[in-house]
Structure 1
């Protein structure tokens, strides 16, 4: 199992976003903290995780 985690380093953060969105009626503005955690993870692993594909779309929705 540890091997799978290293292959998908940001799975935990992606799951946290799903949980947050589910609890907050799928409103991304209520989940910026966990979205930013996924972004940080993706930056750390140089976007080498399938879970990083969704972070750019979520970040586009963030107010400036």
Structure 2
């Protein structure tokens, strides 16, 4: 039964990992970029068709914008 529940809730583990990381790091998203990227990868694989992707879409967008800024500064 658990396996079917996981299928019904794709990306849940990644979303929970982000929440745990943010809580541990006083909600500093810069310290949780690796777990944010894992959720982003999961969401991209599912074309963002997961409730867990919708709930953190703002955080994912911030991460993408942060990467673009960093890449722009290196040029």
TM-score, length basis structure 1: 0.87
Q: Which 5+ residue runs of structure 1 have no aligned equivalent? A: none
Aligned to 1:37: 38
Larger relative contact order (Cα-Cα within 8 Å, sequence gap ≥ 6): 1
The answer (yes or no) to whether the contact 1:39–1:55 under 8 Å persists in 2 is no
Aligned to 2:56: 55
Aligned length: 64
Give 4+ residue runs of structure 1 displaced > 4 Å after superposition.
none
CA RMSD of aligned residues (A): 1.3
Return the alpha-carbon distance in structure 1 between the equivalents of residues 60 and 16 of structure 2.
16
More helix by share: 2
1:60 Cα deviation after fit: 3.2
